[in-house]
Structure 1
Amino acid sequence: MNWSLSFEPLLSWPLLAAVVAPLALLALVGLWLRQRGGWFRAAALVALAAALLNPVLLDEEREPLQSVVAVVVDRSQSQDIGERSKQTDEALAGLKERLARFKQFDVRVVETGNAGAAGDRTETRLFSALESAVRDVPPSRIAGAVMITDGQVHDAPGAAPEFNAPLHALITGEENEKDRRIRFEKAPRFGLVGKPLDMTYRVISTDRQSGPVEVRVSVNGEQVSVERAFVGQEMPLQVTIPNAGRNIIELAIPKEDGELTETNNRAIALVDGIRENLRVLLVSGEPHAGERTWRNLLKSDASVDLVHFTILRPPEKQDGTPINELSLIAFPTRELFVEKISEFDLIIFDRYQHRDVLPILYYDYISEYVENGGALLIAAGPEYAGESTIANTPLMAALPAMPTGQVIDKAFYPRLTDLGQRHPVTRGLDGSGSEPPRWGRWFRTIGIENPEGEVVMKGADDQPLLLLDRKGEGRVGMLLSDQGWLWARGYEGGGPHVQLYRRLAHWLMKEPELEEERLTADGRGMVLEIRRQTMSDDPGTAQVITPSGKTLAVKLEKSEPGVFLGSVEVSDIGLYQVGNGNLSALAHVGPVNAPEFADVVSTPDKLRPATEASGGSVRRLASASLTGGIAIPSVVPVRGGGEATGNDWIGFRTTDDSVLKAVSQVPLFGGFLGLGLLLLALGSMWYREGR
């Protein structure tokens, strides 16, 4: 029982003072003058005042509140090393058992680091978890906290934490652990394709060893070199970026005997490859309505350097005009087609015909250029079907089709073939999804025979309209109509000429995103997403190798013609290898080189400042004196300012807070008892006066 005295005045305080003050003054005067009965009058006055104040004796029924103990359990990936996970489970079970003996403790267990989100797997943030666990608890009710971890905590405060209670840490792992790791020191985010990129890295060993170590350097999964590095020193590295877009640079060192893990024996850098401006040579035949369509498109592309020549007058049309007045500069045929032909990424012949402007030998150089990896586009007009066609030159070796000599002048809607609906160049062209297509008509098709490669668009009478072919290491495209300018001019609503022409040009220049057979993978949070471009109807399943070496099979579902998608939720952060058929891809899930893997050696040092500042302790669960077991400290309740740690025990504060359940009132001057006491006091005063 909790007894206390309270007053509940019958009058307001000002009125009570107005009544009692004059009477008190008279009583004091009587006592000062030592009048007969003065003490009796004073006693009567006190009784009257007490009656007006109405004293009440209170009996409060209170329920004591529990003190909150937070147990923060580290479930990050570094806790999976060795016996740490087992030690954690045993320590958690032992703490729960010991804390359950004390009813005054409310135990809250928070496990962190085992969520599916990438942000929860990349760092060990125990103090954030602790703050969340006690956010709704007043400071007076926080008994303390204990962290079960390997000590690699990435949000540990440098000084005293904002936690006014004992903080204890139980460290998993073993003493004198050994580990070696590699990391990038300088890794640029971007690099030029085909150019060397300067980087630096460092190999770090916990036992402070020195000496050389072999470092394997891989780019997009293919080993490119083996470097010799010295432990502890910053080493230079030069890597050539092979592709535009995402490139994965990987460094790997062999696992050393006695090393904790080889997870951090790899370092990853993601480098976006940027192409230098692509060089395109555009050679136009005699002027025609769509002559500037290709020029305008290529000039509007900031990534293209265009060299354009137009044959304004064929050689047979001589009128005596001096050569130096026919053009601003002479057509440098030898320089372009012999000396610097290999510097061009694409050559376009737009309605060009052979009229001795180019020596016949130069066509052979162009064919050789294509065989060696160059790109050629033929934008054909009626000239391709005439006697002066370039198909009658040594260039025929590079051409995907020979002309029949027929020019079909008939209105038609350009349509995608079955292959064209799946091919990246023509797949999903704006307006292609309806019949007839939602674009304007063309009126001319050049007839060909025995086409090679892939026919992705068809024209009048279902004749081939757009051919794509590979010749040796190079590529050739052939557009068998000169009517594309009608789309550019908006005839009958126009059409997607920019989309088509740009895709066509970039496919010829081997843009990775436009490859017919392509496998890519990417990490979105902790989900691995796989994308497969293919010309087949079913690419099958994708095989995934996780960072830990496990194999997963991921089914690929059709998303659109020629595109299949698959995804799988994963738990490990690191580099995933994806394979499908003869294609492979790499993807990194989670942040690159996450802090969770930067250092995996268990240590009490990071938590010692915070625990000592709070009056707690940090200790290892396992030690050299224990064989196959761990030492779980005893739990002791302590009062507010007492010691909270000992050799084999940890303490948690108990609170004095309680909840009021009920109140019983006993008025001291209430009822007949109060009336009797008051009458007795007044009667004694008059009794004394009457004597």
Structure 2
Amino acid sequence: MNIGFAPFLPWPVLAALAVLTLGIAALGIYRGMRGSWIRTLAAFALLAALANPMLMQEDRDQLSTIVPLIVDRSPSQETPERVKMTDEALAALKDRLAQFPRIEPRIVEVREPAESESPSTRLFAALSSATADVPPARVGGAIFLTDGQIHDIPSVNQALGFDAPIHGLITGKPDEFDRRIEVVRAPRFGIVNDEQQLVLRVVDDGKSPGSTAAVTVRMNGDEIATLQATPGQDTPFSFKVPRAGNNVLEFAVAEVPGEVTPINNRTVQLIEGIRQNMRVLLVSGEPHAGERAWRNLLKSDASVDLVHFTILRPPDKQDGTPINELSLIAFPTRELFVDKITSFDLIIFDRYQDRPNVLPTIYYDYMAQYVENGGALLVAAGPEHAAGNSIALTPLSSVLPAEPTGQMIEKPFYPRLSEQGRKHPVTRGLDGSDTEPPHWGRWFRSVDVEKPQGQTVMVGADNHPLLVLNRVGQGRVAMLLSDEGWLWARGYEGGGPHVSLYRRIAHWLLKEPALEEEALTARAAGRTLEVTRQTIGDDPGPATVKAPSGRTESMQLKQTQPGLYQAQKHMNEIGLYQITSGNLSTLVHVGAVDAPEFKAMISTTETLKPLADKTKGLVIRVASSGGGVTVPPILPVRGAVRIADNQRLTIRMTDETVLKGVNTLPLFAGFAGLAALLFAFSAMWWREGR
């Protein structure tokens, strides 16, 4: 309670009147005039009434004490046991705090942002946001409901922005154990069929069972090895990259009974396969216009080592030309087709006809075996393929996908994609193929064949086969049944996509993953999963996606091109996904492979303890011996918390108040003021009357 003024006249006027009154009073007293003191008292009573003094009393309410309650809902807290513990502990803690009306809990549930690629638990960032609009004096403490795996804990010397206890209620059990696997070092690229090495490590968090761990290794879905790894020690592993392009190397450590979660028992390493140099053997049966097109195409590719032979004059032809005038070298047939045939990635016969004096019949059998054992053969056929000396009449016929009828089809035609060809990755989307007729030049002859096997992806005149692809054993064979592809290279009638076509044929023969007829691939961009299904059949239907937690869902694929189906979806979980479509399966890791959230999954009290000790807080597990949860009672404390309580959650109660209003009582208002003035003036009148 205090005294205030609400003057009826401005203060300068009242001050002037007071000075004048003092002057008159002093003069009267100095001259000894009767009644001077009474007159002075009456004057000052009047001045006091004009100053309007009043008693003022503030009406204040006590403010509540803010207690941030930070609930950890990060991925490491998503195991069924911890979810149940967290929910029960949160409900019990709400009941505890509800017993104190002056305590206002501010509950913040921290979940991983949907767009996060590398999940981590950032509870102190949430605490800072929760207290940003609260004066430090009103914060009575902070309670963390978590498994203890927090990745943004400040140092003990770092200011929190308030002076109150930090408490930790820890989910999980004290004797937890978890096994995980990680790749320590690995190459990002590898040369195909060259030895590569990486280092992996099995890590046991918590009390280790002390035994070796069995690690299953898969390359592109196929199991290639089983390792015995000692937990905590680096384990080297040697392997060969089987193909060019993307290769998925998967490591899975056997699950241990009782471990926290198997979500981190698998990891993948993506390795891009690179062909050091593709060795190609090109054998041209005779000089012709298309020979240069093949040679220029192959020589323009720096990754191709080309060995090219052209039969300028067969041994049985004698025209009298001196040997020293022929630009010839001996054709090393045995070295190429027997000794070193397996060193070639691709063999091309360009308008080659059977010449027993050049290639003995047994050599064709070697080439057939080369194909069946995984080799690649391309036959670019011309008129000689329909003649009596065709290579289709040799042992090589066992791997050729079509038999010549002995006739040539001599009429102009536009090469067209067949129904299968519109879906096949070798020919799908070739420039100019989407019009009728195709937007490219015509050819004028092709070899007539019957009984084609495999896929006929291009057709010529009257829908006769023009390009046939087939698998034989472990190898592949392609037959181009015309020798006039050079017309496209020369730009005749606008030319055509000969470069794209020839390269795709070669890469399909070399088993490039992107050109497989039936393929399932997946890639991740942040949290977005993109699934691509390639097929030359009918609609493959939806793909099945298995999340790291084991939850499965169906992803509907939409056709984007003939034979190409795709879908995209934002995924909520971070980790290794398995996608299945029919009998095809692939793996993809969504988010960062080394995300902090999955590096340690066991609960711990050690991370929060240093900060709790400094602020006189409590860190305790909520799991009770009976299988439920137990939350400590609340202890409100006035003033600074000086002693930690190891059984209760101490809350510093605030002394802050808020002003609701001010009650005022004028001292000279009403009968009291009027009586005082009448008394003063009556006394003055009485004195003057004496």
- After TM superposition, the score normalised by the length of structure 1 is 0.83
Cross-structure match for 2:279:
279
The C-alpha deviation readout for 1:369-403, integer Å capped at 9, x for no partner, is 22221111122334434455443444333322233
Cross-structure match for 2:617:
616
Cross-structure match for 2:103:
105
Change in 2 beyond 3 A, CA 1:30/1:636: farther
CA contact (8 A) 1:60 1:662 kept: yes
1:202 aligns with 2:201: yes
Q: Distance in 2 between matches of 1:212 and 1:129?
A: 41
Cross-structure match for 1:514:
515
Which has the larger displacement, 109-118 or 438-447? 109-118
Q: Distance in 2 between matches of 1:239 and 1:515?
A: 23
Q: Which amino acid aligns with 2:177?
A: K
Q: Which amino acid aligns with 2:220?
A: N
Q: What is the CA distance between 1:326 and its match in structure 2?
A: 1.3
* Secondary structure of the structure 2 residue equivalent to 1:376: strand
Change in 2 beyond 3 A, CA 1:296/1:142: farther
Q: Distance in 2 between matches of 1:615 and 1:34?
A: 76
CA contact (8 A) 2:42 2:684 kept: yes
* Secondary structure of the structure 2 residue equivalent to 1:367: helix
Q: Distance in 2 between matches of 1:629 and 1:157?
A: 31
Q: Distance in 2 between matches of 1:417 and 1:50?
A: 112
CA contact (8 A) 1:352 1:383 kept: yes
Cross-structure match for 1:305:
305
Q: Distance in 2 between matches of 1:486 and 1:467?
A: 20
Which has the larger displacement, 628-637 or 284-293? 284-293
The within-5 A match list for 1:262-661 is: 262-311=262-311, 316=317, 318=319, 320=321, 322-323=323-324, 326=327, 332-354=332-354, 358-361=358-361, 362-386=363-387, 388-523=389-524, 529-549=530-550, 552=553, 556-565=557-566, 572-622=573-623, 626-643=625-642, 646-657=645-656
Q: Distance in 2 between matches of 1:192 and 1:54?
A: 98
The within-5 A match list for 1:677-688 is: none
Cross-structure match for 2:152:
155
Q: What is the CA distance between 1:410 and its match in structure 2?
A: 3.0
The C-alpha deviation readout for 1:327-386, integer Å capped at 9, x for no partner, is 6x6654443333322122112233344567842344333333222211111223344344
CA contact (8 A) 2:266 2:576 kept: no
* Secondary structure of the structure 2 residue equivalent to 1:83: helix
Q: Distance in 2 between matches of 1:29 and 1:352?
A: 141
1:230 aligns with 2:230: yes
Q: Distance in 2 between matches of 1:549 and 1:459?
A: 51
* Secondary structure of the structure 2 residue equivalent to 1:476: strand
Structure 2 residues without counterparts, runs of 5 or longer:
none
Change in 2 beyond 3 A, CA 1:226/1:662: same
Change in 2 beyond 3 A, CA 1:223/1:676: same
CA contact (8 A) 2:7 2:52 kept: yes
Q: Distance in 2 between matches of 1:469 and 1:141?
A: 78
Change in 2 beyond 3 A, CA 1:630/1:582: closer
Cross-structure match for 1:94:
92
* Secondary structure of the structure 1 residue equivalent to 2:499: helix
CA contact (8 A) 1:219 1:250 kept: yes
Change in 2 beyond 3 A, CA 1:679/1:470: same
Q: What is the CA distance between 1:605 and its match in structure 2?
A: 0.3
The within-5 A match list for 1:10-21 is: none
Q: Distance in 1 between matches of 2:488 and 2:266?
A: 52
Change in 2 beyond 3 A, CA 1:666/1:387: farther
CA contact (8 A) 1:616 1:644 kept: no
Q: Distance in 1 between matches of 2:617 and 2:292?
A: 80
The C-alpha deviation readout for 1:459-517, integer Å capped at 9, x for no partner, is 12212111111222211111223333443444444433333222211101101111112
Structure 1 residues without counterparts, runs of 5 or longer:
none
Q: What is the CA distance between 1:61 and its match in structure 2?
A: 5.1
Q: What is the CA distance between 1:651 and its match in structure 2?
A: 3.0
* Secondary structure of the structure 1 residue equivalent to 2:379: strand
Q: Distance in 2 between matches of 1:334 and 1:533?
A: 41
Question: What count of residue pairs does the alignment treat as equivalent?
Answer: 684
1:144 aligns with 2:145: no
The C-alpha deviation readout for 1:57-114, integer Å capped at 9, x for no partner, is 6565555544432222223343344733222111100111122233333333222347
The C-alpha deviation readout for 1:304-334, integer Å capped at 9, x for no partner, is 333344455666475635447616x665444
Q: Distance in 2 between matches of 1:52 and 1:494?
A: 109
1:72 aligns with 2:51: no
Change in 2 beyond 3 A, CA 1:343/1:636: same
Q: Distance in 2 between matches of 1:28 and 1:234?
A: 104
The within-5 A match list for 1:158-173 is: 158-159=155-156, 160=158, 162-164=160-162, 165-173=164-172
Q: Which amino acid aligns with 1:428?
A: G
Q: Distance in 1 between matches of 2:37 and 2:300?
A: 113
Which has the larger displacement, 143-152 or 98-107? 98-107
Change in 2 beyond 3 A, CA 1:640/1:304: farther
CA contact (8 A) 1:425 1:500 kept: yes
Q: Distance in 2 between matches of 1:288 and 1:157?
A: 78
- After TM superposition, the score normalised by the length of structure 2 is 0.83
Q: Which amino acid aligns with 1:466?
A: L
Change in 2 beyond 3 A, CA 1:138/1:387: farther
CA contact (8 A) 2:117 2:527 kept: no
Cross-structure match for 2:219:
219
Question: Which of 98, 122, 125 lines up with 2:122 in the alignment?
Answer: 125
Q: Distance in 1 between matches of 2:426 and 2:546?
A: 31
Q: Distance in 1 between matches of 2:336 and 2:674?
A: 126
Change in 2 beyond 3 A, CA 1:551/1:642: closer
* Secondary structure of the structure 1 residue equivalent to 2:239: strand
Cross-structure match for 1:175:
174
User: What is the identity percentage for the equivalent residue pairs of Structure 1 and Structure 2?
Assistant: 53
CA contact (8 A) 1:638 1:644 kept: no
Q: What is the CA distance between 1:50 and its match in structure 2?
A: 7.4
Q: Distance in 2 between matches of 1:674 and 1:303?
A: 111
Which has the larger displacement, 330-339 or 223-232? 330-339
Q: Distance in 2 between matches of 1:404 and 1:149?
A: 78
Q: What is the CA distance between 1:677 and its match in structure 2?
A: 8.4
Q: What is the CA distance between 1:12 and its match in structure 2?
A: 8.7
Q: Distance in 2 between matches of 1:221 and 1:638?
A: 62
Cross-structure match for 1:242:
242
Change in 2 beyond 3 A, CA 1:354/1:168: same
Q: Distance in 2 between matches of 1:18 and 1:497?
A: 108
Q: Distance in 2 between matches of 1:671 and 1:269?
A: 92
Q: Distance in 2 between matches of 1:420 and 1:500?
A: 12
The C-alpha deviation readout for 1:111-160, integer Å capped at 9, x for no partner, is 2347655648x433322333343344443443332111111222222334
Change in 2 beyond 3 A, CA 1:364/1:669: farther
Cross-structure match for 1:190:
189
Q: What is the CA distance between 1:644 and its match in structure 2?
A: 8.1
CA contact (8 A) 2:374 2:476 kept: yes
Q: Distance in 2 between matches of 1:170 and 1:364?
A: 76
CA contact (8 A) 2:14 2:47 kept: no
* Secondary structure of the structure 2 residue equivalent to 1:652: strand
